[in-house]
Structure 1
Amino acid sequence: MVIKKLPKLRSRPHPPPSPPAELAALSPPVDPSSVTPPPTLSLSTASQTQLSQFLAAHLKPPFTPQALLAFLKTRLHHHPKFAAFDFQIFHYAASLDSFRHDHSTFEWMVRTLAVTHRFDALRFVLDFIASNPCPCSDGIFSCSRTEPIFRFAINSYCRVGRFDEALAAFDCMKKTIDGLPNVAVYNTVIHGFIKYREVEKALGFYDRMIKDRVKPDVFTFNILISGYCRNSQFGLALDVFKEMRIKGCTPNVVSFNTLIKGFFRERKFEEGIGMAYEMIELGCEFSTVTCEILIHGLCEEGRVLDACNLLVDFLGKGVLPREFDCYSLIEGLCKEGEVGRAVEVMGELWTKENAPSLIACTTLIEGCRRLGKTIEAVALTEKMLNEGILPDSVTYNCLLRDMCNAGKSVEANTLRLLASRKGLHPDGMTYNILVSGYTREGRRKEGQLLVDEMLDKGFIPNIATYNRLMDGLFNGKNYF
């Protein structure tokens, strides 16, 4: 920390600097008796009277910064007519001999002007803060809230691409605070340049950061790596990654994800996979984004089996995130006709307690059904039910129909009973499919029990439907 000299004693703060020309007409004049009137000159006569009465009722001089802040937050901010005059009232308060702004009113005003994009007025307030520091700065050190206030303003300027004003605010902040700015402020400016594809300016500000003897952190390097990748300068992104390691900054998962995505964009798949294994060696945990880039990227390139082997290897090493959804891999394997391999992968996921998602399970069931692998589909459905994953009713009913068409109506009804115990209750279609299967197999007794159950649960609308179902069972005619 740089210790500042003790400030000279003064009876009152410096007068506020002149506001921008377009705001001058709204600023309060000083009358001969040195009592500043409220900012009413830009309003009509009737409105001036109303605002004067409003201020007289809720903000009578002398008042404290806390009283002004409460007035701005609770009285003025939600007023339909006078809310837009918050800056003028801020300026009016500053010109009173009995008042001095502190960091609370500075912060409120800066944030309000920034979020409402009143950037000319914002520049005026920042200059005012620099020339009229918070009372906290009357001691040896400057106010600790000064840097966060300026950082919010700088971020707002960068967000809309007003970099000249952002840099001016940065320079103003450096003169006001103790010591060097926090690395996060430099990152804000660098990220702003990168967002607008001003890579050279971002590098220039990074160089300034180094000259200021501010040590970059992992976020600094991640911003630069992302900027190069977004501008198709992947080689330079790798150079930044190497510099990151040289400077002793440990890359995080975002660093690796950005580079892996860059490798895949350049169609350098082996290098991207190698970067993933480097993550494992460094003990950097995978995120779901890491796996999505790798697995989904390989699947999109038609390298489904490579993606499958990679997933199994990650699973064996215990680095696969539990939240990762392998849906795209299962879908790719099914499209390639590798349903057996998909079933194996699904089984390994469950073995390692990485339960697949409902969508992945449903996709595999449909893949099995399309290839006529009903036994595998049934086994997967039973596993789902035992693990508390309930399939949707359409998939469930279609599987029961396949079982009944294959002459396995008894097994289908057993699956229905298991599903009911697990919370998947049958609907009218479920019962009709099972009754139809029993009818084809000549199982009158079992079919009659189901029809009676349908009647009890209200799935048979009238006696004619009941008679039709029973007639079909006893005559061997399928009316469904």
Structure 2
Amino acid sequence: MKKNLLKPLQNPQPKCPERLPPLSPLLDSPQTPTPSLSLFPTIPEPRHQSQLFSFLKTHLTHQPLTPQTLLHFLKTKLHHHPIFTHYDFQVFSWASTFDFFRHDHSTFLWMAHSLGSSHRFSQLHSLLSFIAANPCPCSPGIFSCPQMEPLFRFVIDALCRARKLNDAIFAFETMKKLIDGKPSVVIYNVLINGYLKSGDFGKALGFYKRMESDRVKPDVYTFNTLISGYCRNGKFESGLELFREMKEKGCTPNVVSFNTLIQGLFREKKAEEAVKMAYEMIQFGCEFSTVTCEILVNGLCKEVQVSMACDLVIDFSRRGLLPKEFDYCGLVEELCAEGNAGRAFEVVNELWIKGNVPSLISCTTLIEGLRRSGRREDAFGLMEKMLKDGIVPDSVTFNCLMQDLCDLGRTMDANKFRLLASTKGLEPDEVTYSILVYGYTRDGRRKEGEILVDEMLDKGFIPDIATYNRLMDGLSNSRSLALKKVGVVHR
């Protein structure tokens, strides 16, 4: 057995044993420590050692030990074990102590994913050192294993997410020694983004300079990350300059590039220039996204330029550029909050005609705004259009409009709404029926009211005889009152 895990392993002997040799001293004598295991901080606890050794004997001694059989064991047996799952690196290390065995990229990749995903970064560092000293044997000769870069890409990304940038650089330098040619632009992007997320924009720029010196061509993701960094660090002009440099270098900006700059312009309180950038985006042929529209509308509303936001959204809609998924609820809220529900109603109607259907929240907000401003007829019309288009309101909003109709003496129209809503999946509740019954009571329509009371009874909305009698008495009184009024008119 080897005394040091990081020492390069010898090539397999010409005559490898067909079966796994006796697992001593590791398995047969648990009290005798194995030198390779002593390199790592996590040694199986004494109470777990004998169980772990028995587990290994059960699943690994009946077949030749190869990277494939070891990987199968790690994936299907050890990984799901409630006690031994975190001893996978010890098993990996134990396997490397046999002269006839060599790990390949499959076990390297599995081990890297296991350690990185569980944040065991000290052991991950040891694994990288081991890989550097014992390269994958699948590509003999002058060429390296093609799976090394994907492996290190995952490792570097995991380390950057954990804000361990020094370890990520160690992994990067280790990878450069093991791969053929230069690292891909993706690796550089991961590190640049890692520095940016950790708040060290200076080092992100430094690594970009290194990328250029390594003659690795940056892509749109590289530029977008750095432009975002400039904007977030109060250096918008530098970000704009990099945007121009990006186009000069033949890298085509995408929607993220423009979104970042538009958002940066709003941070600089340059709303008009942000709108100009949006139209430049159109001329460039870059397709709008819902995020673009949200940035523009929210930015203009924050600058108290709600009217400009309305004109912009309508113009985009007329040009056929407004994404169908864009929810203009924020614009409706701002207009209603200003007491300008009429303008909100106009905007919603025009966008709706052009195919930009409002969300349920937008419609509900607008209905409340119209009711507050006394435009109840517009609210009724909006509710009817909603129902016909399959936008089903919540019961509270619906019942409020039902009450408004009944208060205007239009209980028959309210009942038509009830029937239409039922066909769209909105079943009336006890409040709905009560509003209608009392509406018929005021209108002197006893027959229609009695039909609704019977429906309430069938649906269990009348809990006792007292409630039933109260409703019927109300309808009777309304009938008597109506007859008296008719008699007075005839006289």
Could you state the TM-score of these two structures normalised by the residue count of structure 1?
0.88
Greater mean alpha carbon deviation, residues 350-359 or residues 37-46:
37-46
Q: Give the whole-Å Cα distance in 2 for the aligned partners of 1:420 and 1:50.
A: 65
Structure 1 residue 462, shift from structure 2 partner: 3.0
Structure 1 residue 243, shift from structure 2 partner: 1.3
Aligned residue number for residue 269 of structure 2: 267
Provide the secondary structure at the position in 1 that maps to 2:86: helix
CA deviation map 1:339-364 (0-9, x unaligned): 22111111112211111000000111
Where do residues 287-436 of structure 1 align in structure 2 (5 Å cutoff)? 287-436=289-438
Where do residues 43-442 of structure 1 align in structure 2 (5 Å cutoff)? 47-60=48-61, 62-442=64-444
Give yes or no for the alignment of 1:38 onto 2:61: no
Q: Give the whole-Å Cα distance in 1 for the aligned partners of 2:114 and 2:458.
A: 65
CA deviation map 1:215-266 (0-9, x unaligned): 1111101111111122222122112211111111111111111111111111
1:247–1:431 distance in 2 versus 1, CA, 3 Å: same
Matched-pair identity in %:
60
Structure 1 residue 100, shift from structure 2 partner: 0.8
Provide the secondary structure at the position in 2 that maps to 1:476: helix
Q: Could you tell me which of 14, 17, 22 is aligned with 2:6? A: 17
Letter in structure 2 aligned against 1:217: D
Q: Give the whole-Å Cα distance in 2 for the aligned partners of 1:213 and 1:44.
A: 50
1:62/1:99 contact within 8 Å kept: no
Residues paired across the two proteins, number: 453
Q: Give the whole-Å Cα distance in 2 for the aligned partners of 1:296 and 1:200.
A: 30
1:471/1:477 contact within 8 Å kept: no
Provide the secondary structure at the position in 1 that maps to 2:250: coil
Structure 1 residue 51, shift from structure 2 partner: 3.1
Letter in structure 2 aligned against 1:54: F
Q: Give the whole-Å Cα distance in 1 for the aligned partners of 2:301 and 2:413.
A: 36
Structure 1 residue 432, shift from structure 2 partner: 1.4
1:462–1:116 distance in 2 versus 1, CA, 3 Å: closer
Structure 1 residue 473, shift from structure 2 partner: 2.2
Structure 1 residue 98, shift from structure 2 partner: 0.9
CA deviation map 1:373-422 (0-9, x unaligned): 11101100000000001111111111111111112222212222222222
2:446/2:479 contact within 8 Å kept: no
Q: CA RMSD in A?
A: 2.5
Letter in structure 1 aligned against 2:154: F
Q: Give the whole-Å Cα distance in 2 for the aligned partners of 1:274 and 1:59.
A: 68
Greater mean alpha carbon deviation, residues 182-191 or residues 53-62:
53-62
- Structure 1 residues not aligned, in runs of 5+: 1-12, 20-32
Q: Give the whole-Å Cα distance in 2 for the aligned partners of 1:81 and 1:270.
A: 62
1:383–1:85 distance in 2 versus 1, CA, 3 Å: same
Provide the secondary structure at the position in 2 that maps to 1:138: coil
Q: Give the whole-Å Cα distance in 2 for the aligned partners of 1:47 and 1:412.
A: 74
Structure 1 residue 132, shift from structure 2 partner: 1.7
Greater mean alpha carbon deviation, residues 43-52 or residues 329-338:
43-52
2:7/2:133 contact within 8 Å kept: no
Q: Give the whole-Å Cα distance in 2 for the aligned partners of 1:386 and 1:142.
A: 65
- Structure 2 residues not aligned, in runs of 5+: 9-20, 34-42, 481-491
1:444–1:48 distance in 2 versus 1, CA, 3 Å: closer
CA deviation map 1:278-302 (0-9, x unaligned): 1111221221111111112222332
2:112/2:151 contact within 8 Å kept: yes
1:51–1:408 distance in 2 versus 1, CA, 3 Å: closer
Q: Give the whole-Å Cα distance in 1 for the aligned partners of 2:79 and 2:150.
A: 22
Greater mean alpha carbon deviation, residues 83-92 or residues 169-178:
83-92
Provide the secondary structure at the position in 1 that maps to 2:138: helix
Q: Give the whole-Å Cα distance in 2 for the aligned partners of 1:50 and 1:469.
A: 76
Greater mean alpha carbon deviation, residues 244-253 or residues 458-467:
458-467
Letter in structure 2 aligned against 1:38: L
Q: Give the whole-Å Cα distance in 1 for the aligned partners of 2:281 and 2:340.
A: 30
Q: Give the whole-Å Cα distance in 1 for the aligned partners of 2:409 and 2:44.
A: 87
Q: Give the whole-Å Cα distance in 1 for the aligned partners of 2:118 and 2:409.
A: 70
Provide the secondary structure at the position in 2 that maps to 1:448: helix
Q: Give the whole-Å Cα distance in 1 for the aligned partners of 2:369 and 2:244.
A: 45
CA deviation map 1:449-479 (0-9, x unaligned): 323333333322333323322222232399x
